[in-house]
Structure 1
């Protein structure tokens, strides 16, 4: 009879030819019969302590069958190796280095039927040796993760059974090494295939469920990858990832209660990036984590406040759920007070807030401006005197934002105006910045007349509340003194209501004189009792064209002079001791 394996003598094999033939048969009943014969043969060798013959049998199955290009021989060899293991039972451990590698090699075969046979074979092997298979765990995990992406129903069934068995073994033994496993897990977390991701989440969840599992200590190794799964195309993957992430957050909160160390800073760095993700679930989850971290350990996050603020501000304008969490987080963070000497980087926070002033979203701009106002209020000395901030440039940036918002009638823009003025006033408390504010303000009033008419009174009134009214008027007087634009010089007429309200209770007549002198050019000498010059100025108006606009402004001026505030001036004008007062009067 000719050998079924050319070049291999029948006398050289420890396996009967009929067994070999049955192993490669297409009928399952014949293959099962061959398996039982191999098991019985191996058991006899074990009883005889003849491990040499067992080794020969294993070598034959590998070299003549599993290494063969013929698919039937390859599958028969895998079946034979699992049968050998079943026959070895408790003696199998000493032969695993021979048996397992060729089975693992078959996992990567392009034919899914070979992969199926490999899974079945390894399942039988692992079931016999149990924790003895742990030394091959990483190779098995890697092979299973790759096979989980193959769209073959039979193969996936075999993968599932082997995966369940490996999870049971890994969670029952102390031989499982997290240190060796985590680097492989971190690498596989980069895979985008939804089936592979489900496989990975399954392992993370199982290991996390083990009592006293140290997996939380390794969270940062796969934290980013797990968050990426929140935006997966598969709803099932998204749900599983979200569930796993939620459990980890609860564990971190429990760890904080027990004062166990958690690297919040590195996680915040990752979360800040995820809060800017295009996926809504990812943003909500990230901002929720940040919110919990601020509540748990606000002080520990001091070096990462800028990262947190950079994540919060854009989310202020997000959909409702995200916006509510972001607003709460912003309030929590803002309520924490620190000594700048302890390393609190105010400049970094201001830079983030200033950046968000150019946001396309109104709510974000308002929150950013609110943060700037708060920081200037709490740490004004450090901000104004600090080398990290060019205050004049900062003032210009804020003022540009104010100017854009001033003409808009909406309530939100009105809030922007008030906040911007609050920031301006905080900076302008210093003399070197006070003049810059009002010079810029007057320039914008002069260029944009509608701005003056619509919001001029509001701006001046608010600045009077935030700053010293007398100081405000004197500064405006100084700036307007050199104005040659008569229309613009009537600014105080446009703000006559503000003028009367602010000056009724003023005790210092010098303030009246200074204010009146610089604003009303045509009668600038009256309060100074320079009636001769006033008379000349008024007479010179006869040479000018008296248009409707001029007459309207003149009427407003006359009505203003008739108010009780200027009673003293009218008495002087009627006094006989002033010759030119009559000329000015008439």
Structure 2
């Protein structure tokens, strides 16, 4: 440089340095015109070494900056080949301690970028990094200068980032100022790398996205929005690289940062939905096109076979219309490019970030945004969300018990959407792949059930018992829900669901860990999920020998009744869809739990038994518990359990059906082998006097049915023995009017009942009358004697009464019937049969009354 320019650039006054820069600009323009590139390179090296890099001479650095800017302006179109020399010293000045140096560096780079335009994008990463730091500068003038430079760089990026290729990348024999046609150059540039590269920029953005300064965060969000607005860049493809940092921006106390970040995330989500909709539409269009092609081939085949008899004109019209439709479809598919149709979105990486943020210490807004994205993804690409179900559930269900209502509602919405999608999945592909391995097993289950039912009598033939036992849980599912597991679906949509991506074991583990959560809503939701998963895939969920079963048993001690109810529902479902061994083990473990935790037995015992009876067969529960209690060595505990079971059996509304069956059918147990001892006790009425009364009471309560007839016949067969051993009670006479007003339907039983009071009174009156008639010694007045004797014989002969003579009548107290001699021995002349004396006895009795 000229000595005068050198002196002016070192001056501490800005105006003099500006004059020196103008002189330098004029000199360089002359050198450019004369193409003295060596002299230009020497001047630039002098500006960098003696001025821009003079760290301890601030005025020299300022002079060097303004000199480099002037040189860039003077170089004009020749600037690209010198940018590698000009830009680095300017960027180095951004880190100077003097605020004025930093400001003049912004000013110099601004002027350089205005001339370089797209070429400056080769240094975009370094410029972006410097601007990111200057955006949080403490000096206001520096921040203003950086803001002006930032606007200029944004304009250049928006205009040239997607397509600009540096001239240095072009063919060396093509000069910059060539006026020849550039078709070939354009073709060559199409294969050359652009000056701006997202691949080189994203690592820097990923590094800077976790800053905490609000000004820097605002700067970053602005750049992300700008880059996303350029369609050809497809920034959404790299969204997983910086999404986590953006979600953290939502927790910034600065409102401007929050608003800008929320807008940016909304923009990305809308773009993802639009791209998914476009790609889905293109896929459906291709399927419809393929369907039309198949239809056309079918029509051609049918035309060739002569099955359609249309006129030639009609056929030509149909073919031409089909051809036009195909051409239009091909044109729309091949020629018309729709923005976003080829964009690849990494849903998996995005979901990993979203599920990770659910567990992080985000504030309300960050958590809400993550939940909102998951809900939208369940609508956009549910098959991508499915593999993340265990992680989502582990953090989603605790959010359902959040103290913030908005978070609770958002979590409930995600939970509902996710559960609906999992429920919509089908197991039909697995059925169709191996049908032979399941259907024989199903038949085996039926045979097993038949053998079990024939081994012991069942109180009910309800359909629920058919679902109780099955060799494997998977086969039981086929029994209980045949429509879902064995019936083919009308469409093949279910085959497209990637159900295999759902890790049932991981999901069950995540849900089981939530049993320890402090919130009732979370525990209830976890059990609800387990119930649904087990109903859907019992072969894959909750086996007896895994670690889940003890956790379910322990949950029965939960303080919440809703949790215990859900837990019992799940245990019942597992038992219903499993083998008998599982149910037996469940009952044994339940009794052990009651035995060790007496407080649980006192507080939740009745609830547990009743809920199990609602979900399972009450008869099966009582049978199994009875077998277990019979083997119980702790007599006190067995007594308590029996008492609880009896109380529930008598009073619980859940056991109403079992009570009805017991009342209607179970009196037939008298005929079963287990009650042989009871039937034998009927032969010993002196030892068991109340047994007859109890059984007759049951007979009175029963309606006329097969049970009534069985009990009546059994009692009639031993009634004579009972009458011989049952003594009458004095003073327990029955009014005569009520004894003859019995319904006719009990007539058979009335014949076997003796009216002791009336008969004894009648016996005494007849004996007294006979003595009076025999005193005069004349038989002429004894016409009624035989009739009276017949009456006595008749009445006494109807029962097991007996008399020993007239002396027995003189004894005032009543004696047992077995000691009373029969009337037939006292009056042997009465030898007629029972039917004749039945009629005469009635008449004689009437005459005797008239005589009295």
What's the TM-score once normalised by structure 1's chain length?
0.81
CA distance in 2, matches of 1:221, 1:210: 18
| Counterpart for residue 541 of structure 1 | none
The counterpart of 2:40, out of the listed 41, 54, 63, is: 54
Which segment is superposed worse, 570-579 or 115-124? 570-579
SS of 1:381's partner is coil
SS of 1:365's partner is helix
Instruction: Please tell me whether Structure 1 or Structure 2 has the larger radius of gyration of its CA atoms.
Output: 2
The counterpart of 2:585, out of the listed 420, 436, 458, is: 436
Structure 1 residue 34: Cα displacement: 2.5
Are residues 20 and 564 of structure 1, via their aligned partners in 2, closer, same or farther at CA, if it must alter by over 3 Å?
A: farther
| Counterpart for residue 66 of structure 2 | 79
Are residues 397 and 67 of structure 1, via their aligned partners in 2, closer, same or farther at CA, if it must alter by over 3 Å?
A: same
Report Cα offsets for 1:398-435 as digits up to 9, x if no partner: 12112223xxxxxxx33222211110101112312212
| Counterpart for residue 347 of structure 2 | 264
CA distance in 2, matches of 1:456, 1:562: 35
CA distance in 2, matches of 1:200, 1:449: 63
The counterpart of 1:492, out of the listed 645, 666, 676, is: 645
Q: Counterparts in 2 of 1:132-171, with a 5 A limit?
A: 132-171=119-158
CA distance in 2, matches of 1:128, 1:142: 21
| Counterpart for residue 64 of structure 1 | 50
Which segment is superposed worse, 117-126 or 135-144? 135-144
CA distance in 2, matches of 1:501, 1:146: 79
CA distance in 2, matches of 1:351, 1:252: 32
SS of 2:541's partner is helix
Structure 1 residue 120: Cα displacement: 1.1
SS of 1:26's partner is coil
Tell me, yes or no, if structure 1 residue 478 matches structure 2 residue 636.
no
Q: Counterparts in 2 of 1:156-305, with a 5 A limit?
A: 156-173=143-160, 174-175=163-164, 176-259=196-279, 260=341, 261-278=344-361, 279-305=363-389
| Counterpart for residue 425 of structure 2 | 338
SS of 1:505's partner is helix
Report Cα offsets for 1:524-548 as digits up to 9, x if no partner: x89966869xx9xx9xxxxxxxxxx
The counterpart of 1:398, out of the listed 552, 565, 576, is: 552
Which segment is superposed worse, 394-403 or 124-133? 394-403
Which segment is superposed worse, 87-96 or 362-371? 87-96
Tell me, yes or no, if structure 1 residue 380 matches structure 2 residue 538.
yes
Tell me, yes or no, if structure 1 residue 99 matches structure 2 residue 86.
yes
| Counterpart for residue 409 of structure 1 | none
Report Cα offsets for 1:321-368 as digits up to 9, x if no partner: 122122122222222233565513222221111111211221111110
| Counterpart for residue 315 of structure 1 | 399
Are residues 39 and 530 of structure 1, via their aligned partners in 2, closer, same or farther at CA, if it must alter by over 3 Å?
A: farther
CA distance in 2, matches of 1:25, 1:187: 40
**Maintained 8 Å contact 1:453/1:494:** no
| Counterpart for residue 410 of structure 2 | 325
Are residues 177 and 487 of structure 1, via their aligned partners in 2, closer, same or farther at CA, if it must alter by over 3 Å?
A: closer
**Maintained 8 Å contact 2:240/2:353:** no
| Counterpart for residue 102 of structure 2 | 115
CA distance in 1, matches of 2:99, 2:676: 104
Are residues 444 and 367 of structure 1, via their aligned partners in 2, closer, same or farther at CA, if it must alter by over 3 Å?
A: same
**Maintained 8 Å contact 2:390/2:507:** yes
SS of 1:90's partner is helix
Report Cα offsets for 1:511-531 as digits up to 9, x if no partner: 989xxx9xxxxxxx8996686
Are residues 450 and 49 of structure 1, via their aligned partners in 2, closer, same or farther at CA, if it must alter by over 3 Å?
A: closer
Which segment is superposed worse, 439-448 or 106-115? 439-448
- Relative to total residues, which structure has the larger helix share, 1 or 2? 1
Report Cα offsets for 1:136-191 as digits up to 9, x if no partner: 11111122222323322111111111111111111111232222222221222233
CA distance in 2, matches of 1:54, 1:333: 68
SS of 1:403's partner is coil
The counterpart of 2:75, out of the listed 88, 93, 102, is: 88
Which segment is superposed worse, 231-240 or 146-155? 231-240
CA distance in 1, matches of 2:376, 2:531: 25
CA distance in 2, matches of 1:268, 1:47: 59
| Counterpart for residue 365 of structure 1 | 523
Are residues 214 and 91 of structure 1, via their aligned partners in 2, closer, same or farther at CA, if it must alter by over 3 Å?
A: same
CA distance in 2, matches of 1:470, 1:215: 66
Structure 1 residue 256: Cα displacement: 0.9
Gaps of 5+ in 1: 1-13, 406-412, 518-524, 539-560
Structure 1 residue 491: Cα displacement: 1.5
CA distance in 1, matches of 2:37, 2:668: 113
SS of 2:96's partner is coil
| Counterpart for residue 38 of structure 1 | 24
Are residues 510 and 106 of structure 1, via their aligned partners in 2, closer, same or farther at CA, if it must alter by over 3 Å?
A: farther
CA distance in 2, matches of 1:323, 1:512: 57
Report Cα offsets for 1:66-110 as digits up to 9, x if no partner: 122211111111111111112222332222222112111222223
Structure 1 residue 258: Cα displacement: 0.9
| Counterpart for residue 511 of structure 2 | 353
Are residues 504 and 207 of structure 1, via their aligned partners in 2, closer, same or farther at CA, if it must alter by over 3 Å?
A: same
Structure 1 residue 444: Cα displacement: 3.8
Are residues 400 and 49 of structure 1, via their aligned partners in 2, closer, same or farther at CA, if it must alter by over 3 Å?
A: same
- Count the aligned residue pairs: 523
Which segment is superposed worse, 286-295 or 34-43? 34-43
Structure 1 residue 273: Cα displacement: 0.9
CA distance in 2, matches of 1:511, 1:424: 34
**Maintained 8 Å contact 2:80/2:116:** yes
**Maintained 8 Å contact 1:275/1:284:** no
CA distance in 2, matches of 1:83, 1:530: 127
